[in-house]
């Protein structure tokens, strides 16, 4: 996947790419990898993340293994449209934390000829589709599902099991609160 330079008189081509999976599956790492490649190709890149995600840094997007890239924290998906100037690529991390307006924002950007790369959790801690992610899958040209490794059995993990009693849908945390589990191990844990 790359952004071809349009021929004279042709409009730029835009599209949406979604990277999804459980916690510790490498979503943010893959987002950063794609955005760095675009920067290397001298494309103008803007990166956004929800302002509530301050786990590693208040501004930068940071993966679990400490790879980072500069970003702009925003409180609403509509702010992305206001802050996006002349760019070739827009990156959006932790899309599940945005309001449903993020879907229309991504469509508008792609329609303007911008490559949009979005990363987020596909399911919440209860194993349900998370926020706007299912709709983003539907409108995207490319969807990449990444997996973690189950910490119990070593199989591919697609569930983010919450180890605390908190029932709020959004609880920021790391290995102290969440662990990646495969379907079988997730079902065993939730029966306890």
Catalytic positions, please?
A: 94
> Rounded to whole angstroms, how far apart are CA atoms 29 and 88?
20
> Rounded to whole angstroms, how far apart are CA atoms 84 and 138?
23
Paired tokens of 86: 């002349």
> Rounded to whole angstroms, how far apart are CA atoms 157 and 27?
13
Q: Identify any residues that bridge with 25 across adjacent strands, giving them in sequence order.
A: none
The CA-based angle 47-135-169, given to 5 degrees, is 80
CA distances (Å), 96 to each of 49, 92, 112, 122, in order? 10, 10, 23, 8
Torsional sign, CA 131, 19, 140, 102: positive
């Amino acid at each position: 996947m790359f952004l071809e330079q349009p021929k004279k008189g042709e409009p730029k081509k835009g599209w949406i790419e979604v990277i999804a999976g459980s916690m510790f599956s490498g979503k943010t790492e893959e987002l950063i990898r794609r955005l760095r490649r675009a920067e290397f190709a001298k494309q103008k890149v803007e990166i956004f993340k929800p302002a509530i995600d301050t786990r590693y840094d208040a501004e930068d997007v940071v993966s679990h293994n400490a790879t980072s890239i500069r970003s702009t924290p925003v409180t609403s998906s509509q702010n992305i449209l206001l802050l996006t100037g002349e760019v070739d690529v827009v990156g959006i991390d932790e899309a599940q934390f945005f309001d449903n307006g993020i879907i229309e924002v991504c469509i508008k950007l792609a329609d303007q000829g911008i490559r949009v790369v979005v990363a987020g959790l596909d399911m919440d801690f209860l194993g349900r589709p998370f926020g706007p992610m299912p709709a983003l899958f539907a409108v995207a040209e490319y969807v990449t599902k990444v997996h973690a490794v189950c910490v119990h059995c070593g199989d591919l993990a697609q569930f983010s099991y919450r180890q605390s009693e908190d029932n709020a849908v959004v609880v920021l945390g790391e290995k102290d609160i969440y662990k990646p589990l495969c379907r079988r191990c997730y079902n065993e844990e939730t029966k306890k």
